[in-house]
Homo-oligomer: A and B are copies of this chain.
Amino acid sequence: MRELEERIRRDGVVRDGGVLKVDSFLNHQCDVALFDRMGAEWATLFKGKRVDRILTIESSGIGLACCAARHFGDVPVVFAKKAQSINLDDDLLTTTVYSFTKRREFPVIVSRRFLHQGDHVLLVDDFLANGRAMEGLIELCDKAGATVEGIAIAIEKGFQDGGGRLRRRGYDVRSLAIVTRMDAGTGTVEFA
């Protein structure tokens, strides 16, 4: 998606260690008009797929998923939670995901009431790098007996192995911007 690539070039900040900061429009401050156009683009890319539920993971995926849902017929958005709170006392689907950003493992939880056998699910997230979060959501869908129809990503770090691994497993991964190379010294970002 040309608009997203241009926005990353303009407002993204490359840091050492493969960090791309896009917090001015994607995951701290949110440009909801852009989110809406990203949702429209995903709807085009996944046209013809049956999607009756969007699954994301807190927190950065939630805004994107809610804006995208309009373009998929206002299907329910479910966000997986990263820690058990005392209000979540149901029968739960659970797994564990390692976060390289937070440098720790954390439990990921979805209530069985919101992910069912026979559901056709679109996974949505802001970043795809090593793919651990998406693999966690896939595991929750598998446990529920739901079908993962596709994986909608804003920014894929093409130089990390998550996207390749998911595609080799047969998942339909669509990333609106795939970064192939970034340089913290010059601040340049290259796309596929």
Residues of chain A touching chain B, judged by Cβ–Cβ distance below 8 Å, are: 15, 19, 21, 23-24, 28-33, 35-36, 58-59, 62-63, 65-67, 69-70, 74, 76-79, 81, 85-88, 101-103, 110-111, 113-114
User: Nearest residue in B to A86 (C-beta to C-beta)?
Assistant: B101
Instruction: Report yes or no: A63 in contact with B85, Cβ–Cβ below 8 A.
Output: no
Instruction: Report yes or no: B79 in contact with A101, Cβ–Cβ below 8 A.
Output: no
Instruction: Report yes or no: A87 in contact with B101, Cβ–Cβ below 8 A.
Output: yes
A30 to chain B, nearest CB (A): 4
5 A-B residue pairings within 8 Å (CB atoms) = A15-B87, A29-B76, A59-B79, A63-B65, A86-B102
Partner of A28, one of B19, B102, B114: B114
User: Nearest residue in B to A113 (C-beta to C-beta)?
Assistant: B24
On whether A101 and B85 interact (CB within 8 A), knowing A32-B70, A63-B62, A66-B30, the answer reads yes
Partner of A23, one of B19, B62, B87: B87
Q: Which 4 A-B pairs have the closest CB atoms?
A: A58-B59, A63-B66, A30-B77, A29-B114
